[in-house]
Amino acid sequence: MNIPFIDLQAQQRRLGDTVQEAIDKVLSHGSFILGPEVEKLENRLTAEFGGFKCVSCGNGTDALILALMALDIGPGDAVIVPAFSFIATSEAIVLVGATPVFIDVDETTFNIDPAGITEAIQLAQHEGLNVRCIVTVDMFGQPADYETIQGIASTHELMVVADAAHSVGAIFNGRPVTTLADITTVSFFPSKPLGCYGDGGATFTRDPVIAEKIQSLRVHGKGKDKYENVRIGMNSRLDTIQAAVLLAKMEIFPEEIAARNRIADVYQKGLANVVATPGIRSGSQSTWAQYTIRSSHRQTIIDACAAEGIPTAIYYPAPLNEQPAYRNYPTIPHGTPRAHKLAATSLSLPMHPYLDMNTQTKIIETVTEAVSCI
């Protein structure tokens, strides 16, 4: 039995010919960069995700870089960031020349613990840095605590950039995640909940001036055209073919999010007394980009699953501030013990909208048996 971790082929079967037809259309009009599908996608994402202006770009990492550039964050500036994420979150900060200040996360939601923000502000000021921004991450699809974070941000006049690579399509207190920060960034990497067939990303903002600045930044800092350059920019556009793929996938996206939530419920109930299951904040709806359990017997579970042909994955094997390239950047004095512990205990199980009940039952039984033998 070959169980996929994420079943993109099942999604392809469901989409039928619609993706191929959308790609063929791009091949026939030949406008491969910033063709009509790109603007159509941006308008659709704006309309469906709460009205903030969407500007697409080359990938989710560039989306973060473009966001920080648009806010003029650079050398001498500090950006507060949770220590538990994919490396791109901190990489973007360093690439614009700013200094990441790492804080800890909540152990059950995997999300930034706002209690560390004030400590980070003090540390950064002590080091002579200008604290400008908090980058939040909606880990595994669940929105961070934006209510608390925005409260602290407005007290200290900080900008908030939300890394919603996992969570586009999620809801926080009735609001789409793309509407909760100064700029929200997303990734369309194939395995993300809203993925294309290559690299892709986007930013969302309420501010039309920022949106226009990002449109300029993604085309070499263009002015009236790309041969007039009014700022230092980069080359980061979403391919027209990828926009066409995403438009086709948007037709089924809401149903896929609903399916992911049903599947997550089954895991939550089936594994509640077996391992530590994800903590869910009331008022939020996750996209369940990953379903991630915690266990001090992680390797036993991995081995038992492997023996049954069940793939698992470790997100993430090390906190950002323990990665060799990032060890010299500041971490708050209290440290990030929970991020450290999560890196040692987290285990993601197969999760996608097409996971059938029999397979899921088998996964739950395998994990339960593995733990009962300890």
Ligand X SMILES: *Cc1c(COP(=O)(O)O)cnc(C)c1O
Single out the segment in contact with ligand X by CB under 6 A; choices: 37-45, 55-63, 235-243, 300-308: 55-63
Q: How many C-beta neighbours within 10 Å does residue 169 have?
A: 26
- Decide: helix, strand or coil at residue 35: coil
Binding-site member from 136, 150, 187, 205 for ligand X (CB under 6 A):
187
Q: Which two tokens stand for residue 202?
A: 């986007």
Q: From CA 314, how far away is CA 42, in angstroms rounded?
A: 33
Residues in the chain: 374
Binding-site member from 189, 197, 316, 329 for ligand X (CB under 6 A):
189
Q: Which two tokens stand for residue 63?
A: 């989306």
Q: Is 166 in the site for ligand X (CB under 6 A)?
A: yes
Asked if 261 contacts 267 with a C-beta cutoff of 8 angstroms, the reply is: no
Q: Is 163 in the site for ligand X (CB under 6 A)?
A: yes
Compare residues 96 and 123 and give the one whose CB is closer to ligand X.
96
Measured CA distances, 253 to 27, 115, 175, 192, 285 (Å): 24, 34, 17, 12, 14
To ligand X, the closest distance from the beta carbon of 235 in angstroms equals 15
Compare residues 189 and 326 and give the one whose CB is closer to ligand X.
189
Q: Is 56 in the site for ligand X (CB under 6 A)?
A: no
Looking up tokens 């604290």 gives: 131
To ligand X, the closest distance from the beta carbon of 188 in angstroms equals 7
Taking residues 62 to 91 in sequence order and writing x for each that binds ligand X by CB under 6 A, - otherwise, the string is: -----------------------xx-xx--
To ligand X, the closest distance from the beta carbon of 137 in angstroms equals 5
To ligand X, the closest distance from the beta carbon of 135 in angstroms equals 9
Sheet holding 284-285, edge to edge: 175-176, 171-172, 284-285
Q: Is 294 in the site for ligand X (CB under 6 A)?
A: no
Asked if 130 contacts 78 with a C-beta cutoff of 8 angstroms, the reply is: yes
Single out the segment in contact with ligand X by CB under 6 A; choices: 20-28, 54-62, 222-230, 316-324: 54-62
Compare residues 89 and 295 and give the one whose CB is closer to ligand X.
89
Q: From CA 177, how far away is CA 363, in angstroms rounded?
A: 30
DSSP string, 184-227: EEEE--TTSSS--SS--EEEEES-HHHHHHHHHHTBTTBSSSTT
Beta bridge partners of 161: 135, 183
Binding-site member from 59, 205, 312, 346 for ligand X (CB under 6 A):
59
Q: Is 193 in the site for ligand X (CB under 6 A)?
A: no
Asked if 143 contacts 177 with a C-beta cutoff of 8 angstroms, the reply is: yes
Q: Which two tokens stand for residue 369?
A: 């048996």
Compare residues 79 and 123 and give the one whose CB is closer to ligand X.
79
Compare residues 92 and 211 and give the one whose CB is closer to ligand X.
92
Interface with ligand X (CB under 6 A), residue total 15
To ligand X, the closest distance from the beta carbon of 163 in angstroms equals 5
To ligand X, the closest distance from the beta carbon of 3 in angstroms equals 22
Q: Is 165 in the site for ligand X (CB under 6 A)?
A: yes
Residue nearest to ligand X (CB): 60
Q: Is 220 left (phi over 0), alpha (psi -120 to 50) or beta?
A: left
Residues that bind ligand X (CB under 6 A): 59-61, 85-86, 88-89, 137, 163, 165-166, 187, 189, 199, 201
